Amino acid sequence: MAKAVRMADIAQRLGISTVSVSKGLAGKEGVSAEMRAKILATAEEMGYQPPARTNAHPGGESIGILVADRFFNENAFYSNLYRAVLKAATEQDISVLMEIVLPQAEKSCNMPTFLVNRKVDGLIFMGEISRRYLATAVQTGVPFMLLDFYDDAIAADCVLSDNTSGSYTMTEHLISTGRRNIGFVGSVLSTSSIMDRYLGYVKAMLRAGLPIRDDWRLEDRDDQGKFVPFSLPHEMPDAFVCNCDAVAYNLVEILKRNGYRVPQDVAVTGYDDYRYSTLCSPQLTSYRVDLDGMAKTVVAQLRRKMAHKPAIAPTVIVPGGFVRREST
């Protein structure tokens, strides 16, 4: 029987201390991101096996969910998506552990304890997370899925809302009501979902031969992905497509404070159809995301990968549905 690889063996190979190897494998501070990547790669090459994990759910499987703090802290959509995943997993007798990745942990690529100690059989990354953090996490070899985003630089299976088609539907609806000057609210470089929703808007506008003006695209987030106040353009369009209901709600409030009537003067559409769509006055026309469908799909796909079977498809797009209300 081959001798088990120890941390000391990895340390000797790399010419570093065993403590550094331990920190690198645990995702703790004290080693650089580059050295951590070398440690993880060398451990995999040498066949290092961490101590056997203790199942968080005796007799069953368990999955870990990682979500960046900026999404879970400010966006009720993700708390609802988490509940949907939890429900779908529980129905399959799978336990769930969740870690909210704080900004410093994301920046320094510190991995959660449940991943370092192999207490989960699979991982779900829920919402955008930094590419370095994602790359570091997947080097552990734990099967994983991306939920509600994708990364063109990393080959990964993912489950998405039908973002481009959904936003196209919303824009086409505004055009059908006679609006011709239509803006977009959303920082398109912030997430893959917002980018795809912007592309759906652009597609509908181009097909209708309508103008796409830079001053009618309003930024709603900073470089860290946090919501920021936005100002109305000097020359107003007669409608806005918003990347989510929370932003649409804020826009409606700003419009009303500035004396505009919704939808008589400016029509507004949202996206998600969760909470803000009915809290808003007037209630928002929105595109409903099938949270339960996304949750069931990602759990089923991840379970296949945990059983060492390929995902049914590398990218699964879950369709939603158009919901018309008073804001248009």
- What is the reported pLDDT for 247? 96
Least confident among 75-79, 167-171, 191-195, 277-281: 75-79
The torsion region of residue 26 among left (phi > 0), alpha (psi -120 to 50) and beta comes to: alpha
pLDDT exceeds 60 at position 53 = no
Span 247-276, mean pLDDT? 96
Span 46-57, mean pLDDT? 60
12-45 confidence digits (pLDDT tens): 889 888 778 877 777 666 778 788 888 888 887 8
pLDDT exceeds 60 at position 59 = no
- What is the reported pLDDT for 73? 67
pLDDT exceeds 80 at position 327 = yes
**CB atoms inside a 10 Å sphere around CB 6:** 13
Could you give the percent of the chain with pLDDT greater than 90?
68
- What is the reported pLDDT for 2? 55
Which residue in this structure is represented by tokens 């020359």?
A: 235
Which carries the bigger pLDDT value, residue 209 or residue 55? 209
pLDDT exceeds 50 at position 132 = yes
Q: How confident is the model at residue 152 (pLDDT cuts 50, 70, 90)?
A: confident
Q: How confident is the model at residue 51 (pLDDT cuts 50, 70, 90)?
A: low
Q: Which residues of 136-150 are buried (b: 16+ CB within 10 A; e: fewer)?
A: bbbbbebbbbbbbbb
The torsion region of residue 3 among left (phi > 0), alpha (psi -120 to 50) and beta comes to: beta
Q: Which two tokens stand for residue 308?
A: 């060492």
Mean pLDDT of the chain: 90
- The string of DSSP letters for 198-224 reads HHHHHHHHHHTT----GGGEE--B-TT
Run of H or E including 286: strand 286-288
Q: How confident is the model at residue 57 (pLDDT cuts 50, 70, 90)?
A: very low
Q: How confident is the model at residue 197 (pLDDT cuts 50, 70, 90)?
A: very high
- What is the reported pLDDT for 1? 45
Q: Summarize the chain as % helix, strand, coil (round to 5).
A: 40, 15, 40
β-pair type (321-323, 286-288):
antiparallel
Span 146-166, mean pLDDT? 93
